[in-house]
Structure 1
Amino acid sequence: MSTYWCPRAWLPGGVAEGVRIDIAEGVITSVVAGEKPCGTMLAGLVVPGFANGHSHAFHRALRGRTHGDRGSFWTWRERMYAVARRLEPDSYYRLARAVYAEMVLAGYTSVAEFHYLHHPGRGQRYADPNEFSHALVAAAVDAGIRLTLLDVCYLAGGFGEPTAGVQQRFDDGDAEAWARRVESFDPAGELVITGAAIHSVRAVPAEQIPVVVRAAAGRPLHVHLSEQPLENEECLAVHGCTPTQLLSAAGALTPRTAAVHATHLTPGDIAELSGCWACLCPSTEADLGDGIGPARALADAGVRLALGSDGQSVIDPWFETRALEFHERLASGRRGCFEVGELLTAATAHAASGWSNLGAIAPGRDADLVCVDTGSFRTAGASDAGILFAATASDVTDVMIAGRWVVRDRTHRTVTDVPAALATEIGALWQ
């Protein structure tokens, strides 16, 4: 057993002082506040590990290369496709390893990877058709982060349109073939679980959605939902209903379902999502001009909120957390739309990605801890709860995942030079 003492720690009831935390075999066995210093001291404020509920690791290669452009989500997508065209399993492993290490350094202890880059091209297969999946698992294991690999079904280039160009690397042909490939994948690693995803109602024909739902039974099922108004308009024109209604009719909305973005919803859509998750990605939704999702209305309707870094224009859970509140302020014209406890709950919503025993510093929970510097230029003078509105990824000093230190003194223990690794891999992709 290991014993740690924190001057302050954010427990389920709020921030407490003089907190002793005992950990054995990766699980918190005891938490006691008001204790005198003992064991190993953890400086600053200790908080639960953050959850990255939606990630496309390879989008990290776009940071700083598209942000000054005019255009739209759809023109940005062409730049994204250019990167997807160049990746191979070995290069994706190296890039993802560095991206996942960057996430851990920022305070994320789990990531849900929305993975749709599967094949060399239309009808082509690697010797192991899950070669890319193995690369991502290896990258996460080496970076020390918990991974939910969400294998994405992607079969169409739009309503009634076949995949074309680089999209053919995503396409298994039909949902049954996708399901067979997914069933054949058995990843190694104690910190790896699998789930499934419907890319969107644009990319999976309506009659094939139930196949994905059946294949995902008992596991997380994620889906891009109503990110763009055009998706809603086309769905109404083709099917006479909203994307949310289409998913509901196919049985895709369950307590294990996470609707990603959920930006352009009707009141009826919001009601349909009650009991599901909604994973908002504020930095990406702002970067791409998607719009501001109805976060408060979703929460009030019984939709559980989670947060993700998505396009990796920012990898900073502190930013995403306060942006959830700030975006709601912009949309509503008032402050204090979420209680600070609600914000932390959304930021640590590992359960949205299948990790049910995380998200709190409490006995019986898995030991994922993040230490944040409370005396930096950014955080000095902030109240305990106010740390969510002051800290950034740069203020994270130490990160424990499953009882093991992955980051100590702001240094990742296995990927020792993350900026150099990122620069090398991203530079190679753009040559």
Structure 2
Amino acid sequence: MRELSYWCELAWLPPGEVVAGVLVRIEGSRIAEVTLGVTHPPAGAVRLGGLTVPGLANAHSHAFHRALRGVTQREKGSFWTWREQMYGVATTLDPDSYLKLARATFAEMVLAGITCVGEFHYLHHTPGGTPYDDPNAMGHALVQAAREAGLRIALLDACYLTGGVGTPLSGVQLRFGDGDADRWAMRTESLTKCYRSARDVEIGVAIHSVRAVPAEQMHLVAEFSQRHAVPLHAHVSEQRAENTACVERYAASPVQLLSEYGALGPRSTAVHATHLSDVDIALLGGCRTHVCMCPTTERDLADGIGPARALFNMGSPITLGSDSHAVIDLFEEARAVELDERLATERRGHWSAAELLAAATVAGHASLGFPDAGMLLAGAWADLVSVRLDSVRTAGASQADAPEVVIFAATAADVHSVVSSGRQVVADGRHVLGDVGAMLGEAIAEARGPGRDNGEG
């Protein structure tokens, strides 16, 4: 088993303390030993300058949305008009082009310090809805992309059966659906068997939303999660229109409906959770359901500002996601949780830097089925992310205020080294795959299709 040592100028250690001179010894994919008080790098140890934190967890991603960056800013519509442009990209992808796009997108994540991604996957079949020869070909492409980019993946296979509450699938939506939850479960069971012995892959499940899964079929997804002891994620109350349709059909909010059908609990994550009642907040917190905030996407799509602190105070662990990838920067997502709440309340100081770092690390990994990640501790996954403290954004940081500077001023561009599962994937700000920008440019041009890279169509 390969052994490596990294000497950290400063390291963020549990329960949230910044310590100088920390030596981390790695065996294989795990941290073997953490030694404090090492004043100089020992012979053979790799020096990590700045502040080293555990690997970040991107708890909510749709990899193919990366092809939309910039293009959707030309229109002044809503979530629903943005969705039509997203569907346009969804029509073009096949397993080969999806592999290219996802690999480049995941590599961008690694450059930003992300060592685990929760990929909310519903692009299952051909554009007409016919399964590929291997019905999980698109899922396999995502797993391969994550491995080649150098991060772990929780592939959250989404059940997607209707185009709206009580509305059948149509158009490109047909490629999202399996017909009913029983057939979804059969396909997902096959996917699970493929990766049963893989330590770097977690096959979780998802209820796309109350719009996409009829209430009477939700329990089958919840039972799958319970039977296999895997994460269950769901888009929840992202839009007011979703709440209205749910109440009209079921006389219950989305949170209440998911609770009734057994889809909430410590293994579950409610994504967005933007428009909630006090009852919804109490239900989510009372059963310790994670809540994934995606502030950049929520701002970009004009969704609103969710009650993150109220949820946390009621017992819901908060996690972070880049979702539609308008930007990929978990430091931006973390500070936005605080800054957006300031706008909503006209008060400062809802979250500490340590709480936001925990959301980006240990809480996010736990929500994705990797509870032994996100900590610089012996036995944990060997994920080390080092952030410069001498850039134009971070210069002047001291040991005492390094977490505040990183959370409230640093960007993904300040990440200079990433060790993921014991392998150094980023050194001096460069990914081992080479020019990730060029990879993205080529993959996005292919995903947008003829005429789409100039805004047409």
TM-score by length of 1: 0.98
Matches within 5 A, 1:27-426: 27-37=30-40, 38=42, 39-122=45-128, 124-185=130-191, 186-188=193-195, 189-217=198-226, 218-274=229-285, 275-348=288-361, 349-382=364-397, 383-386=401-404, 387-413=406-432, 415-426=433-444
Residues in 1 aligned to 2:336 and 2:118: alpha-carbon distance in whole angstroms: 20
- Using the aligned pairs only, state the percent identity: 54
Cα pair 2:55 2:384 within 8 Å, conserved: yes
Query: What is the CA-CA distance between 1:121 and the residue it aligns to?
Result: 4.1
Amino acid across the alignment from 1:162: P
Q: Which residue is 1:10 aligned to?
A: 12
Deviations 1:209-248 (Å, cap 9, x if unpaired)?
A: 0011111221000000000000001111111110100001
CA contact (8 A) 2:129 2:176 kept: no
CA deviation after TM superposition for structure 1 residue 21, in Å: 1.3
Q: Measure the CA separation in 1 of the matches of 2:418 and 2:96.
A: 27
Please, which runs of 5 or more residues in structure 1 have no aligned partner?
Answer: none
Q: Which moved more, 1:121-130 or 1:266-275?
A: 121-130
Change (3 A) 1:270 1:397: same
Offset at residue 318 of structure 1 (A): 0.9
Q: Deviations over 1:260-303 (max 9, x none)?
A: 00000000000100211000101100000000000000000000
Instruction: Write the distance in 1 (CA, Å) between the matches of 2:30 and 2:91.
Output: 42
Inter-partner Cα distance in structure 2 for 1:324 and 1:167 = 32
Residue type of the partner of 1:196?
V
What SS does structure 1 have at the residue aligned with 2:339?
Answer: helix
Instruction: Tell me the distance in 1 between the aligned counterparts of 2:434 and 2:313.
Output: 43
Post-superposition Cα deviations, 1:152-193, rounded to whole Å, max 9, x if no partner, equal 000001111100000000010000000000001134554111
Aligned to 1:429: 447
Contact 1:137–1:187 (CA<8 Å) still a contact in 2? no
The Cα RMSD (Å) is 1.1
**Are the aligned partners of 1:350 and 1:359 in contact in 2 as well (CA < 8 Å)?**
yes
Distance in 2 of aligned mates of 1:375 and 1:351 = 32
Question: What stretches of structure 2 of length at least 5 have no aligned partner?
Answer: 451-457
Q: Is the 8 A contact 2:91 2:127 kept in 1?
A: no
Q: Give the counterpart letter for 2:240 in structure 1.
A: P
Letter in 1 for 2:34: V
4+ residue stretches of structure 1 with deviation over 3 A? Answer: 186-190
| Partners of 1:187 and 1:312 in 2: CA distance | 28
Give SS of 1:93's match.
helix
Question: How many residues of Structure 1 are paired with residues of Structure 2 in the alignment?
Answer: 430
Contact map agreement 1:122 1:171 (CA 8 A) in 2: no
Contact persistence 2:97–2:446 (CA under 8 A): no
Distance 1:190 1:354 in 2: 11
1:44 alignment partner, SS class: strand
Q: Is the 1:55–1:113 contact (alpha carbons within 8 Å) kept by the matching residues of 2?
A: yes
Corresponding letter in the other structure for 1:4: Y
Q: Which moved more, 1:261-270 or 1:342-351?
A: 342-351
**Distance in structure 2 (CA, Å) of the matches to 1:398 and 1:105:** 8
**TM-score (structure 2 length as normaliser):** 0.92
